[in-house]
Amino acid sequence: MNVTEAIRLQAGGLYAIWFREVKRAIRDRGQLIGGVSRPLLWVLVMGIGLNPYFRGEVYGEVRFVVPYTYLQFIFPAVIALNIMYTSIQSAVSVIWDRQFGFLREVLVSPLPRATILLGKILGGATVALFHGCLVLLLAQFADLSLSAGDIARGLSLMALMAFGLTSLGVVIAGRIRSFEGFGVFSNAVILPLYFTSSSVFPLDPSLTSAQTSVIYPEWLTILVRCNPMTYAVDALRGAFIHFQQFDPRLGPAALIAMAVVFFALALRGFAKA
């Protein structure tokens, strides 16, 4: 077999696995309903309902804590939430394939395990990226005007996030043997990651860091700063509402690190399958 045929075989196998994952997600109506209802709940209910409380008084004058409404502030975080749930939950296909023997059949094929794993992760990441784009359709409700540049930058960040989190889901699925256990454990990972990522509240809502230490306990501040999703969500805010709390370079760096580290861990576990 020459190099061209080998590349064609790898590409064909990669596409087949990717397409299978995407097709499985398309047929899952429950996943699509969740991808639509979740952002509607957060954007239209929580975003609008909590918007009046996202403000403070400075010298008797009522001002927003950050120069955006709460609906605008939480909008990029809702995109991240939709991607997180879809990415990690898509890895349940690993457990499904393991239990019904499909994984064994694929692993004995001529395809390297890295190619098989990459196809599964790209399939899950594609579906997660689509679910993230569903939230973008609600931008008008948040009174956001997104330029083509904003959308292009945001999509690249969302794709990195989807790839990294799908890889994390595969890591979890490699250690969990039941569907029930995966659901419980994945939620135990998603919720702490999300709520300690400065997603639903700004880390520094006051004018000085001294005031921040008074408002928030030190342990919570440490958790937020150590969470890589903090910088990922911050990068999405930079893309979609042009507001960032941290160095703009930290977000892309955190997303690339997540993608590389989690894929390496997933590949290590997949090689032992």
In sign, the C-alpha dihedral spanning 79, 201, 30, 107 is positive
Is 112 in contact with 13 (CB distance < 8 Å)? no
- Dist CA 217 CA 196 (whole Å): 13
Nearest to 262 by CA among 172, 130, 185, 157: 172
Is 199 in contact with 81 (CB distance < 8 Å)? yes
- Higher-confidence position of 172 and 162: 162
Tally of structural domains, the chain? 1
Nearest to 178 by CA among 96, 107, 105, 101: 96
Look up the pTM and report it. 0.85
CA-based R_g, the chain, Å: 20
Give the pLDDT score at 246: 84
Q: Is the pLDDT of residue 119 over 70?
A: yes
Question: Domain range spanning residue 48?
Answer: 3-271
What band does 208 get if pLDDT is binned at 50, 70 and 90?
Answer: very low
Backbone angles phi, psi at 269, to 5 degrees: -70, -35
